[in-house]
Amino acid sequence: MWSRGLLQQAVRHASNIRQAGVLFDVDGVLLRGGTVIPAAQRALRKLVDRNNKFMFPVVFVTNAGSCTRHHKAQQLSNKLDMQIRPEQVVLSHSPLHMMESFHNKCVLVSGQGPVTQIAHTLGFQNVITIEQLSEQHPLLDMVDHSRRPTHTPCSSQILPQIQAIILFGEPVRWETNLQLIIDVLLTNGRPGCAYDTQLSAQMPVLACNMDLLWMADAPSPRFGHGMFLVCLESVYKKLTGRELEYEAVLGKPSLITYQYAEQLLRQQNQNHKLSTIYAVGDNLMTDIYGANLYNRYLAKHHTETTGGNKLVAQGTQAIMTEEEPPLTAQCRSILVCTGVYNPHSPLPGDQNISEMVFHGQKHLKLESALVEPSHVVEDVEAAVDLMLQQESSNT
Ligand SMILES: [Mg+2]
């Protein structure tokens, strides 16, 4: 246990520029269902000063995505009883904010919750929802007999050609979204037309949160967005014989999510680079794999840049620029035992698990080294103690 005095000593740098930053996963680390894990409040208290301001750059990274960052920040602030700003939150779709080349394109969005508002806050100006598309083209959605039109409708409004598809999360009416997304893909963005069998290129698809399953209150896991994507890919392949390609895959364990989180940490650090990022999570396959993969990327980046080459992570071409400042030196993964991870079950080693977990991310492979945390601790308070201890011994 660390006393407040020791903690203050640990962070007693002359300026408020820090060498270390922290990424916290939310579910299973800070919250369990709607309840705050008791260690979370104690942990966060150790990271703030007398004015309740964080003494280190801190970002909360979650694969949730059916709300805006403002909403999530508000929710976390209320639950954890401290001020958390939207700029401290990374949701699965947040890195889309950096993908400016898509912001002025006409995009179709799929998911639930305030999808149009989410898209607008991310910078997209020209957004069409599945509901708008269905309303404009009532002959397309034919599964639910009760929703079929009783007479031939006449179009009143012509929607612009769709240029990209953004899959935020699992929709409510899977059959409607599957049908209309396929219609958009196979007509090159003009779903009122017949399928174009000569289509040579597929329009860009950006997918957030590939988790196949998630744990709710039911005895067994529930379908996640990844399961919806399995259906979409399968239908697409059945109809075209080709694999559905993703322009980008966002959310943990994707590199792009960690790159974005690092950018936010650095902004809190007055744009100074950090030497270490501590990533605290409860899931080996997302939090630990993601942090370790990012650490490997950082190591490669340092090697490559000293060799004069530039390394660009898969799916990040659209966001990385030549002017990017030097990256963090390392990312340490800390596994806690208050969520998904059960210290009594063996580590996964089966290829099927790899297939399940890294669905849609063909470049990711299950490697035992990547699911091995740098540290395993009881809870998030122990994780913060460990980080403060390491940082104090580095000064
Ligand atoms: Mg979690």
CA 321 to centroid of ligand 1, rounded, Å: 31
CA 75 to centroid of ligand 1, rounded, Å: 16
Q: Report all structural domains of the chain as residue ranges with CATH numbers, in order of start.
A: 17-92+253-394 (3.40.50.1000), 96-249 (3.40.50.1000)
Q: What is the pLDDT of residues 258-305, one digit of tens each?
A: 999 999 999 999 999 999 999 999 988 889 999 999 999 999 887 776
CA 47 to centroid of ligand 1, rounded, Å: 20
CA 207 to centroid of ligand 1, rounded, Å: 20
CA 131 to centroid of ligand 1, rounded, Å: 31
Q: What is the pLDDT of residues 367-379, one digit of tens each?
A: 778 889 999 999 9
CA 222 to centroid of ligand 1, rounded, Å: 15
pLDDT over 70 percentage in the chain: 82
Residue with tokens 């990547």: 370
pLDDT over 90 percentage in the chain: 65
CA 353 to centroid of ligand 1, rounded, Å: 18
Q: What is the pLDDT of residues 51-83, one digit of tens each?
A: 999 999 999 999 988 899 999 999 999 999 999
CA 281 to centroid of ligand 1, rounded, Å: 6
CA 28 to centroid of ligand 1, rounded, Å: 5
Q: Is the pLDDT of residue 322 over 60?
A: no
For residue 29, what are the contacts with CB-CB under 8 A and spacing of at least 6? 37, 40, 280, 281, 282, 336, 338, 339, 380
CA 299 to centroid of ligand 1, rounded, Å: 25
CA 391 to centroid of ligand 1, rounded, Å: 25
CA 27 to centroid of ligand 1, rounded, Å: 4
CA 68 to centroid of ligand 1, rounded, Å: 19
CA 383 to centroid of ligand 1, rounded, Å: 14
CA 26 to centroid of ligand 1, rounded, Å: 6
CB atoms < 10 A from the CB of 14, how many?
5
**What is the chain's mean pLDDT, rounded?**
86
CA 313 to centroid of ligand 1, rounded, Å: 24
CA 320 to centroid of ligand 1, rounded, Å: 28
Residues 155/103, Cβ–Cβ less than 8 Å: no
CA 60 to centroid of ligand 1, rounded, Å: 11
Amino acid 85: pLDDT: 97
